[in-house]
Structure formats: structure tokens, C-alpha cells
Amino acid sequence: MPVPDPSSVRKAAHSLPPGVVTGRDYITLLEACKAGGYALPAVNVIGTNTVNAVLEAAAKNKSDVIIQCSNGGARFFAGEGLADAHEARVLGAASMARHVHTLAKAYGVCVILHTDHADRKLIPWVEGLLELSEAEVASGRPPLFSSHMIDLSAESLDDNIAECARLLPRMAKIGISLEIELGVTGGEEDGVGHDLDDNADNAHLYTQPEDVLRAWNELSPLGHVTIAASFGNVHGVYKPGNVQLRPEILLHSQEHVAKALGSDAKPLSLVFHGGSGSEKEKIQAAVDYGVFKMNIDTDVQFAFAHGVGGYVEEHPKAFRYQIDPETEAPYKKFYDPRKWLRVGEKSVVERLEEAFVDLGCAGKSIASV
Ligand SMILES: [Zn+2]
């Protein structure tokens, strides 16, 4: 039997079938990002238009991608007409996940499915989704999501870790990872967040290496954990100069934990919240220090609106009349929602191309196609 070329073996060992990745495969993808020195955009979606635009952008850029929804995004996915907010959040997130499970393979890339911030009052949302994933796994199918975020950064470290330790074994049992937050991300997202009035040097705003080590020691034996660390990042887009990103904070945590473990690698898998509008060199530094996931929400919202806005300006009458009252020209081919929603999708695809380049993940998909 011929000896295989070592580089092809390495490639095969790190390649995965296209589609949603969970459990071991999720960890394989995340480790490939860290080993390859790149990160994936985690894009907040609110409906099939944004989901499809993210999949299209990932396929076009030959990159794997992370699709996530906030509790508000999940609710919107279910339809604002559903009265029961809890039910809508659970069903909307499940609907989003099932849509992605159905389509991802066809786009030929690996997709991580995730839910964004869940503070104390949103824990039942995550538990509702875990119940649905348990039913999937019991029927021989993968869980709905690759990972969930629990954000108790507004509470004491004791309470934060205790609640994560309660939920993590249940998640680990069905191959779901946990993203925790240590230190708080400024700004606000769907009612979860913190204002920026605190002193910028407030220890609470910047993740402390000793807190990271403690969380790591207590949680990593229970399941797979990733960490959203605060290094001056905020949700939303602020005027340049208002926010000082300090990615070296991430390096300090990596070094502190690596030293305690007696390893010289980067043991932590870090998440960058509030990536919209960040300076390119700070993004690169964060990736160098172990960030494998950067959340993008605000910039994608703007891209969609900007695209549609341009279309409306170009064809204003089509949004007021079915037939032009003066010329009797029919406007059907302009007001058909597929026309202007598609313009919004294309605008999102264009904005995401920039993210794939910034994060160094373009052309790096590990999907075996
Ligand atoms: Zn966030």
C-alpha cells in the first residue's frame, strides 16, 4: 500500500463533512481556527433572509461560519404575532436551527449554530432549547445547537460559575458547548447589557486573569467551555476614540491559565463580542491571542437596511403605487418583496466578505467537498 502524503493526511484529519457541526466536530473546527491563526464571524440572524445571506457569503468566501440568534432575534424568527414571549423565543430559535440544519450542507461549508446572551431571566429559554435538543439526540439526530451562551457577568463570579456548573453537564451529555462571559461587555443587546458610564479602568469591565483561571478550573472538567472576555469591547458602534480596545487583556488571561496548567499553548478559546466597527489591527491582535469567534450584529443590521434603503430611493413610486397614476406603468416587478429583500441580502453578503478577510478565514473552510 502506498504511503500517503503527510500533508494530505493532516488535511483529512482536520476536514469535516459540510453542514452543522456539534460535539467533537465543533471542537475540531474551533481547534482548526486557533491552529490556523484565524477566527470565524458569528453573525446574528433574525429570519431566513439573513440566514441565507450568511450561508451565501460563507460559501462565496469558502469559509466556515457561525450563525447565532439573540433572544429577540429568535422571537422575531417565530413571528411577532405570537403572544407568549417564552414560547416564541424557544420555537423561533428552534425554527432558525432547523432551517440551517436543512440547508447548510448544500452550501458546502461547516456551520456552528449558537444562541447569544442569556442572562438570569433568560435561562428558561436555554433550558427549553436543551429539552428540544435532548429529544433530537434521543431520536438519533444531532442536537439543535452547537453551543449556547449563558451571560451572568452582571452577577457575582460565584453565582456566574455556579449556574454554569449546573447547566454544563446537561449540555455536555448531548454534545453542546457552553460560552460564558467574564467581565462585562459594554453597550446593550436585546435588553441584556451594561451602560458605559463606569470608569473605563473599572476591573469589572476588563476580564481579570485570576477570574478566568478560577472559571476554567471549575467548569472545564464538566464540559466544553469557551469564554467571552471583556477587553474594552462594546455592543453597537460608537464614535472612534470612545472605546479603547485592549486585546493584551486576552493575552494576560491565556498566559495566566497556561502557566497554571504548565502548558505553553493557548488553552482558552476566546470570543470577541461587539466586533462591529472595530479597528482591523485590534481584531488581528485578538485573534493572535486565541479568539476563534467574533460576533457581528450591528454592521449586518446596517448593511441590510442600507441596501434596502438605496433600492427604495431608486424606486420611490413603487412603494406608493401599484400602477403609476400618471404614466399607468405597472410597478409589480419593483415592489415584489423578493426584489428589495434580495438587495438587502446582497448588501449583507458584501459586508460579510470584509469580515471574512479581517478574520483571516476566507478560503480556510475545513469542509470536505
Ligand atoms: Zn454580545
- How many C-beta atoms surround the C-beta of residue 183 within 10 A? 23
Beta-carbon contacts of residue 238 (< 8 Å; ≥ 6 apart):
187, 196, 277
Number of domains the chain is built from? 1
Question: Is the torsion defined by CA of 166, 122, 74, 192 positive or negative?
Answer: negative
Mean pLDDT by 10 residues, the chain (369 residues): 47 81 97 96 98 98 98 98 97 98 98 98 98 98 98 95 98 98 75 51 74 97 96 74 80 95 91 85 94 95 98 96 93 96 98 96 95
Q: Residue 8: inside a domain, yes or no?
A: no
Q: Residue 320: inside a domain, yes or no?
A: yes
3-state secondary structure of 365: coil
Annotated binding site: 117, 151, 181, 235-236, 273-276, 295-298
CA-CA distance, 153 to 233, in Å (whole number)?
14
Annotated binding site for Zn(2+): 117, 151, 181, 235, 273
Q: Residue 10: inside a domain, yes or no?
A: no
Alpha helices in the chain (DSSP H): 6-13, 23-36, 48-60, 71-78, 85-107, 123-138, 157-173, 209-219, 248-261, 280-288, 298-314, 332-335, 337-358
**Greatest alpha-carbon span in the chain:** 79
Q: Residue 311: inside a domain, yes or no?
A: yes
pLDDT given at position 242? 60
∠ CA 297-213-259, rounded to 5°: 115
In which region does residue 168 sit, left (phi positive, over 0), alpha (psi from -120 to 50) or beta (all else)? Answer: alpha
CA-CA distance, 234 to 243, in Å (whole number)?
8
Q: Which residues are catalytic?
A: 116
Assign residue 66 the CATH number of its domain: 3.20.20.70
pLDDT given at position 198? 42
Distance 245 CA to ligand 1 centre (A): 15
Q: Residue 91: inside a domain, yes or no?
A: yes
Which domain does 161 fall in, by range?
Answer: 15-358
Annotated binding site for dihydroxyacetone phosphate: 236, 274-276, 295-298
Helix 337-358, helix 48-60: angle, nearest 10: 50
- Give yes or no for a contact between 315 and 334, defined as CB atoms under 8 angstroms apart: yes
- Give yes or no for a contact between 197 and 184, defined as CB atoms under 8 angstroms apart: no
Q: Which residues of 4-21 are buried (b: 16+ CB within 10 A; e: fewer)?
A: eeeeeeeeeeebbebbbb
Distance 42 CA to ligand 1 centre (A): 10
pLDDT given at position 1? 45
Q: Residue 369: inside a domain, yes or no?
A: no
Q: Residue 2: inside a domain, yes or no?
A: no
Q: Which amino acid is at 287?
A: V
Q: Residue 367: inside a domain, yes or no?
A: no
Distance 318 CA to ligand 1 centre (A): 38
Beta-carbon contacts of residue 271 (< 8 Å; ≥ 6 apart):
42, 179, 226, 227, 228, 229, 291, 292, 293, 294, 295
- Give yes or no for a contact between 142 and 136, defined as CB atoms under 8 angstroms apart: yes
